[in-house]
């Protein structure tokens, strides 16, 4: 659980890197502005969803540690509404691409997934090297 803030910082950096690439793409390829605009709004909403989920996980963990009996959930409806809001804003107010906005909604989640796989592989490699006695 203590790795959560570190993972979230890395996900934030990856998402900001993706956003900077989208802004550069917007500037270099002005004909594809609707796609890049949708990706930008979707990625921003994705990052907001990642922060919200992190907050909920920490709150549920603190409640479980305090032996609280209050029933908690991870707030899927709130996160779905954030994604829906990003798509509606992208299409209705800015006339960006729906496909770009929906694709952008997966940026932080994919970064989290890849980061989790990489972390798990490092942990497995570290444990296997400890078993062989390589770190003595």
Q: Name the residue among 70, 82, 80, 73 with its Cα closest to residue 44.
A: 82
pTM score, whole prediction: 0.84
C-beta of residue 38 within 8 angstroms of C-beta of residue 104 = yes
What angle (nearest 5°) sits at the alpha carbon of residue 20, between those of residues 17 and 24?
140
Question: What is the H or E stretch that residue 101 is in?
Answer: helix 98-104
Chain length of the chain = 136
| pLDDT (0 to 100) of residue 58 | 87
HEC secondary structure over 28-77: HCHHHHHHHHHHHHHHHHHHHHHHHHHHHHHHHHHHHHCCCCCCCCCCHH
**119 compared with 15, residue with greater pLDDT:** 15
CB atoms within 10 A of CB 44: 19
Q: Name the residue among 74, 100, 69, 73 with its Cα closest to residue 86.
A: 100
For helices 76-88 and 33-65, the axis angle rounded to 10 degrees is 160
Mean pLDDT, rounded, of the chain: 88
Residues 36-63 pLDDT 10s: 999 999 999 999 999 998 888 888 888 8
| pLDDT (0 to 100) of residue 108 | 93
Cα gap 27→22, rounded to integer Å: 9
């Amino acid at each position: 659980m203590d790795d959560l803030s570190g993972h979230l910082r890395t996900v934030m950096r990856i998402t900001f890197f993706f956003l900077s690439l989208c802004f550069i793409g917007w500037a270099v390829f002005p004909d594809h502005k609707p796609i890049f605009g949708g990706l930008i709004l979707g990625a921003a909403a994705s990052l907001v969803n990642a922060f919200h989920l992190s907050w909920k996980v920490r709150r549920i963990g603190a409640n479980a540690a305090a032996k609280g009996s209050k029933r908690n959930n991870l707030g899927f409806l709130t996160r779905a509404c954030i994604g829906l809001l990003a798509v509606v804003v992208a299409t209705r107010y800015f006339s960006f691409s729906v496909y770009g906005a929906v694709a952008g909604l997966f940026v932080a989640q994919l970064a989290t997934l890849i980061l989790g796989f990489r972390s798990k592989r490092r942990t497995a490699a570290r444990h296997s090297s400890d078993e062989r006695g390589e770190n003595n």
